[in-house]
């Protein structure tokens, strides 16, 4: 039996006659080493190279030196996928199989409502609107942004997603203009923005980190002029800076907090004053009646404002002091 016949039998026994269409380099290395163990006494690496269609030196480098060939002809003979030139990702400097960069997806964070509101506030202020934020108005309703210019009132509700609920929320305000502000969507063209204006009477503002775009201009409601003036009269300087629009921590300037701010200032300036003294100066404030003012204010000062207010009950009427 000749040498060539012996080699053919050994390689067939190793099941190395053919390679799979595509395989990885580690699999190729294992097969080369397995073939070398069978052909070690019958030509060594040269015989292994002849079987795989490569040189013996190349077979040795791949199996023992962790070398991966780049030549497309050699890779094809070994069953490795061919290399091709692809552009490097400009974001991370690597090559991706998919078109989008995974690191870019990791960096992409949904815009928070407070961040969205900041862009809207800046956009409105650039048009000379006076801004009030997180304003509690009718029946406990809270408006994210209230803008005023020349007696015209515009309420903007900011949300991180457009929905029917936010449209309903914006449409309830009896003011001259109502709008919603939402992040600009990737498939923005699919949204039916006209529905907001035609059905809900609400404008639409889309916000990107680079710009603010008023997609739908809100209709003007002159029949809300009387109620808008009432709401406008309830706005204070504290509403401008007390809380940021879109915050979810519950920090907002409520009628109760406004009352306590005035009461605290009065007690500080007039130590030993009475509830009647406060009423004579400020009226019933946010309470419904004089009786409600006197009964509820004293209880609130004793139960909830004790950290700064001391009620002296040794004399009648009770005296109020700032701690």
Burial class (CB in 10 A: 0-12, 13-18, 19+), 155: buried
CB-based contacts of 33, cutoff 8 Å, min separation 6: 63, 64
Strand partners, 205: 181, 214
pLDDT recorded at residue 264: 93
pLDDT tens, 189-230?
557 788 888 899 999 999 988 889 999 999 999 999 998 888
pLDDT recorded at residue 19: 45
Backbone angles phi, psi at 119, to 5 degrees: -65, -40
Residues of 180-218 as b/e, b for ≥16 C-beta within 10 angstroms? bbbbbeeeeeeeeeeebbeebebbbbbbeeeebeebbeb
Q: How many whole angstroms separate alpha carbon 136 and alpha carbon 254?
A: 6
Q: Give the end-to-end CA distance of the chain in Å, rounded to a whole number.
A: 112
Q: How many whole angstroms separate alpha carbon 42 and alpha carbon 6?
A: 8
pLDDT band at 72 (very low <50, low <70, confident <90, very high): confident
pLDDT tens, 112-128?
888 999 999 999 999 99
The token pair at 222 is 């002159």
pLDDT tens, 263-276?
999 999 999 999 99
The token pair at 140 is 């406990």
**Cβ distance 260 to 128 under 8 Å?**
no
CA 58 to chain centre: 54
Which domains are seen in the chain, by residue range? 3-78 (no CATH), 113-241 (3.40.1350), 255-322 (1.10.10)
Distances (CA, A) of 176 to 129, 136, 147, 229: 14, 18, 11, 10
Give the pTM: 0.57
Q: Look at 137 and 258; give whichever has higher pLDDT.
A: 258
């Amino acid at each position: 039996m000749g040498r060539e016949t012996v080699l053919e039998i050994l390689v067939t026994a190793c099941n190395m006659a053919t390679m799979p269409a595509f395989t990885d380099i580690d699999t190729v290395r294992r097969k080369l080493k397995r073939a070398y163990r069978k052909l070690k006494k019958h030509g060594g690496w040269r015989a292994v190279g002849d079987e795989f269609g490569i040189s013996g030196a190349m077979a040795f480098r791949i199996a023992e030196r962790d070398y991966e060939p780049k030549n497309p002809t050699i890779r094809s003979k070994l069953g490795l996928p061919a290399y091709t030139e692809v552009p490097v990702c400009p974001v991370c400097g690597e090559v991706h199989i998919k078109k989008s960069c995974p690191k870019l997806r990791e960096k992409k964070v949904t815009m928070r409502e407070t961040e969205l509101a900041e862009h809207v506030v800046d956009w409105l202020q650039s048009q000379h609107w006076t801004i009030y934020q997180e304003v509690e108005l009718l029946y406990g309703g809270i408006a994210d942004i209230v803008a005023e210019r020349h007696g015209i009132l515009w309420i903007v509700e900011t949300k991180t997603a457009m929905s029917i609920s936010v449209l309903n929320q914006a449409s309830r305000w009896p003011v001259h203009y109502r709008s919603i502000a939402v992040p600009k969507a990737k498939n923005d063209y699919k949204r039916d923005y006209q529905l907001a204006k035609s059905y809900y009477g609400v404008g639409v503002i889309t916000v990107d980190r680079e710009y603010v775009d008023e997609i739908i201009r809100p209709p003007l409601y002159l029949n809300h002029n009387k109620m808008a003036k009432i709401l406008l009269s309830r706005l204070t300087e504290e509403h401008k800076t007390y809380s940021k629009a879109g915050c979810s921590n519950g920090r907002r300037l409520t009628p109760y907090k406004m009352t306590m701010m005035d009461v605290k200032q009065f007690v500080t300036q007039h130590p030993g004053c009475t509830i009647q003294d406060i009423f004579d100066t400020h009226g019933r404030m946010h309470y419904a009646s004089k009786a409600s003012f006197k009964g509820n204010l004293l209880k609130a000062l004793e139960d909830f404002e004790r950290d700064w207010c001391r009620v002296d009950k040794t004399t009648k009427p009770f005296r109020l002091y700032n701690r």
